[in-house]
Amino acid sequence: MDKKLRFREDGTFRVIMMSDLQESGKYDPRSLRSVEALLDEGKPDLVILGGDNCDGHEIKNEKDLKDFLDVFTKPLIERKIPWAHVYGNHDHDARVDISRQQEIYESYPFCVSGHTDDTVHGKSNFMLPIYNEKDEIALAIWGIDTNHEVSELDFLIGGNAKEKIALPNKPVGYGPWGMLYFDQLLWYYNTSCELEKKVGKKVPGLLCMHIAPYEYRTAQANPEICVKEGSYDEGLDSTPFNSGLFSLLVQRGDIKAICAGHTHMNDFDAEYCGIRLLWDACVGYSCYGVDERRGGRLFVYHKENPTKVETKMIHTFDKLKRTN
């Protein structure tokens, strides 16, 4: 395959993000059919696996992880669709070190996932450039790793981080999962600046991550102003600390859309301070959720104006019913 991701001849580039498969080699057949239906309708040029890809509690060793990936990358490989991934909290539950998981993921055909080195937290941080017909970078698809949970900070704050953040009076909707580190923000900032210098202008982008930034809660709390469409009735379990990511994105001005997963009943499309805040529910059927909302989110970019994006949820439940 051409290692460069490119806009189509019709000037579009199509991305599907699908999160929360939460499967293993022993899987619900509906989850596989859900993935296949999503790909067949969305016809993506790139797929992002948005975290909680495997059911980590069922992954006891490398063979278990490969058994899972053999099943759920097959539809991508058969259709010759490039794909990348970020990790979620349940991927960390697997008894396979995350660095080794990354090596295994990247060994599969059509995987274009990149990763940062050990100087940056998280293994699934990447930037994928998308080229136009002039071989110019016209769009960037970003992934950032939300790591595992706040217990990673135990040694810094004297232990029991989960208990210390769980104060009796706290804003609704945050959980103990999801840690973004300053070195990750610095990686994004430096990479974004280097890309701007290389291209001669800021490159519009989409950011994919598993656990939503803090500011999603503001959009959810003000649906009459911020939410365009979709369901937003489940607590977001967003990151417990304001990492500064959203403020940085506003100041850089290149990434105008973020998509998150993690909670399975939200599938909304919102906007706050000029940035689209999107959710993609869950694509898997073994995990909890609302069947009518299961699926993934399609993004369609146009090379003439890649600062704007068309996006919609592709729900798979009705499609699965028709195949029964």
Q: What is the pLDDT of residue 319?
A: 84
Q: What is the pLDDT of residue 154?
A: 64
Q: What is the pLDDT of residues 47-91, one digit of tens each?
A: 999 999 999 999 999 999 999 999 999 999 999 999 999 999 999
Q: Which two tokens stand for residue 50?
A: 């948005």
CA torsion sign for 146, 237, 316, 20 is positive
Q: Within 10 A of 268 (CB to CB), how many other CB atoms are there? A: 22
Residue 271 to residue 323: CA distance in whole angstroms: 36
Residues in the chain: 324
Q: What is the pLDDT of residue 21?
A: 97
Please answer whether residues 216 and 261 qualify as being in contact, where contact means their C-beta atoms are separated by less than 8 angstroms.
Answer: no
Residue 156 to residue 211: CA distance in whole angstroms: 22
Residue 232 to residue 244: CA distance in whole angstroms: 23
β partners of residue 46 = 15
Strand 83-85 versus strand 12-18 pairing type: unpaired
β partners of residue 301 = 13, 309
* pTM of this structure: 0.94
Q: What is the pLDDT of residue 155?
A: 63
Residue 15 to residue 296: CA distance in whole angstroms: 10
Flag residues of the chain having pLDDT under 50.
Answer: none
Q: What is the pLDDT of residues 271-296, one digit of tens each?
A: 999 999 999 999 999 999 999 999 99
Q: What is the pLDDT of residue 183?
A: 96
Q: What is the pLDDT of residue 324?
A: 55
Q: What is the pLDDT of residue 171?
A: 58
Q: What is the pLDDT of residue 162?
A: 72
CA dihedral (188, 194, 200, 206) in degrees, to 10, reads: -20
